[in-house]
Structure 1
């Protein structure tokens, strides 16, 4: 072999050794950066959740809010007050008060029964 060929071979071996020596730390660095970004995103999410829960805790410490929840959810009233509860008939939408259309078939019940017995499906 000539001197130039030997130098090229030694240079190739040195370059390969450097590439192998740098590959593992570089891969570790990249994976740690990804893990750090994921952890930072999780921390931001948890910080937001802690703030939301702290606000909820502060609300529950307010007697006016607790009273409003008890009145709205549980139907509590103060002594001396008269509670009223409006019951709408079936088929009436409470938000609009409009009568809802029945979505059932107009066939009488006995024809549906006969269809199911005779194997017609119904």
Structure 2
């Protein structure tokens, strides 16, 4: 019995038993970890599937939302431009209500002169070809210019 007791308490026997116990613990730990990993992997796959589904489901509505916001911004810009144009036209209408402004525009555009005044046309030597054509048109009666415009527009339609 002394040999068995001595063998039971020997260092080699204790180390061997300790190694076997440690190996059993490591094996059990790895098995649990692998089972936990497989569960985590299936959960991650399910989560990825849900996220992808949400992204696909929300992609089109988000695109529509962004597109509609851009349309709204464009329409607001057009509305602002239209309001500015209306204001400019109101100012112009108010100016034309003034007899002095109307007389000034008639004199400048139609080259009218008041009775007793003498009209002069100053020719600029540096004027462009178009400006010279306008000056030639200014020497003619206004109704001749109107008929020429009608003839030119009629010729451009053909």
TM-score (normalizing by structure 1): 0.62
CA distance in 2 between partners of 1:58 and 1:15 (Å): 63
Deviant stretches of 4+, over 6 Å: none
Which structure features the higher share of helix residues? 2
Establish whether residue 16 from structure 1 lines up as the match of residue 49 from structure 2. no
Establish whether residue 55 from structure 1 lines up as the match of residue 88 from structure 2. no
Establish whether residue 37 from structure 1 lines up as the match of residue 70 from structure 2. no
Structure 1 unaligned blocks of 5 or more: 95-122
Deviation string 1:28-76 (CA, Å, 9 cap, x unpaired) is 1111111111111111122111111111111112111111112222232
TM-score (normalizing by structure 2): 0.50
The answer for the alignment partner of 1:92 in structure 2 is 125
Greater RCO (Cα-Cα under 8 Å, separation 6 or more): 2
Aligned length, in residue pairs: 91
